[in-house]
Structure formats: structure tokens, C-alpha cells
Amino acid sequence: MAKATNAESEFRTNTVYGLLVDGKSRGDIVQFCAENWQLKDRQADTYIQKARVLIERDCELSRPQFLAEALAGLRSIRAQAERRGQMQVAINAIRLQAELIGLSS
């Protein structure tokens, strides 16, 4: 099999990234790589290693950065819940926002 192009390699790394984030095991990912890209275990492990580096980079957030992302996500959840008439979900999102910024215990 020919060596993957840079675009193929990046696509594969991002796909494996998604599989790891979804909680797939190494065995699941190796099987996926074999079935979809005809890769051997060692090649799959290379993509797993590259994907883990990306995950580590994505997780390098400071406390203020994480707080900002969490609050933005909760604002989105609240808005969606209100549009759907899910008031308890909206209230829970507000409560969690208050906890995150220290307004409640």
C-alpha cells in the first residue's frame, strides 16, 4: 500500500481523535483502521499517538479559559432548552452557571 498523503494522514489522525474522544479502546481503533484503511496495528498505533497529542493540546486550558468555555456552553444549553420548553433544564443550566462563578454553594 502506498504511503498516505499529508491530507490522508491528517484526516486519519482527526478520525482517530474522534474515536478516542468517543471512548473507543485501542482494539476498537486498530480494528477500525484495518477495516477502513487496511492498516496494520503498528500504523494504527501511530495515528493513535498523533491523536493523543492533539487531545493533550486541546486540554491545555487555563482555569479562566475553561470557565469561559463552560459558561458559553451552558448559555447555549439554556437557550436551546428554553426554545424547546424544557424549563427544568434551563433552570439547571442557570444553577450550574451560578455555581461555576461562585454565586451559590
* Residue with the larger pLDDT of the pair 104 and 68: 68
pLDDT tier at 4, thresholds 50, 70, 90: confident
Sequence-ordered list of residues with C-beta below 8 angstroms from that of 78, at least 6 positions apart, any chain? 89, 90, 93, 94, 97
pLDDT digits (tens, 9 = 90+) for 21-32: 999 999 999 999
pTM: 0.67
Closest CA to 13 of 27, 31, 28, 33: 33
HSE-CB for 65 with a 13 A CA cutoff? 5
Q: What is the pLDDT of residues 31-77, one digit of tens each?
A: 999 999 999 999 999 999 999 999 999 889 899 999 999 999 999 99
Q: Could you state, in order of their start, the residue ranges of all structural domains in the chain?
A: 6-58, 63-100
> What confidence score (pLDDT) does residue 105 get?
62
Q: What is the pLDDT of residues 80-92, one digit of tens each?
A: 999 999 999 999 9
